[in-house]
Structure 1
Amino acid sequence: MPETILLSVFPAGPGGGNPAPIVPDARGMSGEEMRVLAAHHGHESAFVLPPTDPAAADRRFRFFVPAHEMEMCGHATLGAAWLLRRRGEATGGVLRVETLSGPVRAIFAGDHVEVTQPEGTATILDPAGILAVLGLAAEDLADAPVQNAATSRVKTLVPLRSLERLHALAPDSSAVRRICDAIGSTGLYPYHLAAADRAHARQFPRASGYPEDAATGIAATALFTGLRALGAAGETLTVRQGEAMGRPSEILVSRDGSGCRLSGRVELVEEIS
């Protein structure tokens, strides 16, 4: 097994954060070997490679969940950039990263890392089928539309009136997959907006190989994009996730021109040789 570093990204309390296995030198690994390693760990995993074009990027990141490759993974990008910085392999102020979803930058200030995301998109959806999958009624919705939003991957934003209703959700994974396929989404992201700059959310992925994520950076940037489209977002957004799983996590999103930046805490968990 290649050298693998297990990180926890976005932790906000004991047992919190989203685990991220990182392979800091994945040269020679096939895509199937990467997927098998992700399946072994049971989490989204990042694999660091030389860039396709050194003039355009400093590193290429590939991302796998147990079931398949992903175009982009926010917490694994943040974790991999943090790890390269810790190892002395990213010494400048910016690391240019090539991903399947397009180029992003990791911006460093000491050990603090922010990952850029491009300008996003948001469209309003008919909520009926989505509510049925989540076991919700129309009156459970807050005074905002259900949206498909994305900076890198499409997430379905479902605004709920109460935190209690959010934490009570227990959708069937096969039903989540069917509705996501029908609406062109990679995951359902129900949320409760506690204030203009603070939200609580849960992520039920379309088909990652597990039913729920403790922290989903790309979903948080999609939420920021959706709220901006509604005129409901300020300059920053703090998203609490993983609370219903007993894995409290906190994701920070901030405006960056027409796009945004993603940040949060990263902790070293284990080095696996």
Structure 2
Amino acid sequence: MMTTSPEPQVRFVSVFAAGPQGGNPAPIVVDGAGMSDAEMQQVARAYGHESGFVLPSPPGSDCDFEFRFWVPNHEMSMCGHATVGATWLLQRLGRLQRDRIAILTKSGRVHARIGQSDEQDISVEVSQPTGIVEPLPDTPRSVDDILDVLGIGSDCLAPFPIQNARTSRIKTLIPLKSVSILDGLKPDFSRMERLCNRIDSTGLYPYAVSDRNDQIIDARQFPSASGYPEDAATGIAASALSFGLLANRMVDASERQITIRQGRAMNRPSAIKVRFSFNDGDLNGCWLGGAVQPTECEKIAS
């Protein structure tokens, strides 16, 4: 007689929320040991969101946990908001024995640090390595194609270069003159995946400076092939953007907080907080964090 695997217990959090209904929803399975790739992908497909799965760390990895991440169409090497959300859940469930943990992901080891003043007030920051910022391949043609897909002209660009940047996955940073131009974007999503593949990117990340003195930036994320057209909050993209801003001398090389606001166009206001990290005065990466709150999530597929 055949037996079927028990249905995984899926918990839901909203990460980087900056108001009611804000943040990026994340289905999380904190007991993912034994789940197959197909079962993990089915969770992401059922709920239509980036999903995180917590597994025991492999022997010899010198990590506390292994995290895996799926979107409806494929597995991802790293997902910032799902990492923050899963770590927050582990702390809330009493699964963590210390305030710093090491996590194995397909993009490498990341670290998380946890603060807690009471049962509800849990803060999580996740590490990312030093960002790499590069020119676009085939720049003149690529810029024209990006503007065409976004439905804007070159007069909408701020006087900074369009660049590819990454801490884990490559995002294409597109500087715009104003937040109103950013909010008004209506991309041609039917051409997004082909464009991103050609420029070696996993998504377009247009942005506009809202308050340079306070280091507040507004952005939108259009992923290349995740199974949905726009993302409410993207920690990996925000980390990459922070290093792009630094390369263009738009933010300080310090531990001052950079706030990247996202999701407003989706009515899911979000705020991702990034701070550069240093070792003996040398820049060695960044920490990303933000608010996490329990939420509900309805299935969109059986």
Shift of 1:255: 0.7
Shift of 1:52: 1.6
AA at the equivalent of 1:102: G
Shift of 1:55: 5.1
Matched residue, 1:263: 289
Shift of 1:206: 0.4
Matched residue, 2:132: 121
Q: State the TM-score, normalizing by the size of structure 1.
A: 0.97
**Contact kept? 1:121, 1:225, Cα under 8 Å:** yes
Among 10, 34, 40, the alignment partner of 1:4 is 10
Name the % identity: 51
Alignment of 1:152 with 2:168, yes or no, is yes
Give the 3-state SS of the residue equivalent to 1:143 in structure 2. coil
Matched residue, 1:53: 59
Give the 3-state SS of the residue equivalent to 1:34 in structure 2. helix
- Give, in whole Å, the separation in 2 of the partners of 1:238 and 1:215: 12
**Contact kept? 1:8, 1:20, Cα under 8 Å:** yes
Point out the more displaced range, 205-214 or 121-130: 121-130
**Contact kept? 2:151, 2:188, Cα under 8 Å:** no
- Give, in whole Å, the separation in 1 of the partners of 2:57 and 2:25: 25
Matched residue, 1:42: 48
Give the 3-state SS of the residue equivalent to 2:103 in structure 1. strand
AA at the equivalent of 1:47: F
**Contact kept? 2:61, 2:104, Cα under 8 Å:** no
- Give, in whole Å, the separation in 1 of the partners of 2:67 and 2:194: 29
**Structure 1 residues 148-190: Cα deviation after superposition (integer angstroms, max 9, x where no partner):** 0000010000000011111111112221111100001000000
Matched residue, 1:214: 232
**Contact kept? 1:50, 1:58, Cα under 8 Å:** yes
Q: State the TM-score, normalizing by the size of structure 2.
A: 0.88
**Contact kept? 2:99, 2:114, Cα under 8 Å:** yes
Shift of 1:239: 0.7
**Contact kept? 1:4, 1:271, Cα under 8 Å:** no
Alignment of 1:190 with 2:196, yes or no, is no
Shift of 1:143: 1.1
Structure 2 residue runs without a partner (length 5+)? 1-6, 117-121, 279-283
Structure 1 residue runs without a partner (length 5+)? none
AA at the equivalent of 2:133: A
Shift of 1:37: 0.8
Matched residue, 2:281: none
**Contact kept? 2:162, 2:172, Cα under 8 Å:** yes
- Give, in whole Å, the separation in 2 of the partners of 1:105 and 1:54: 17
AA at the equivalent of 2:287: R
Among 128, 149, 162, the alignment partner of 1:133 is 149
Matched residue, 2:3: none
Matched residue, 2:265: 244
**Structure 1 outlier segments of 4+, above 4 Å:** none
CA RMSD after TM alignment:
1.3
- Give, in whole Å, the separation in 2 of the partners of 1:92 and 1:229: 35
**Contact kept? 2:47, 2:297, Cα under 8 Å:** no
AA at the equivalent of 1:146: I
**Contact kept? 1:155, 1:219, Cα under 8 Å:** yes
Alignment of 1:14 with 2:25, yes or no, is no
The residue correspondences of 1:77-92 to structure 2 (distance < 5 A) are: 77-92=83-98
How many residues matched? 272
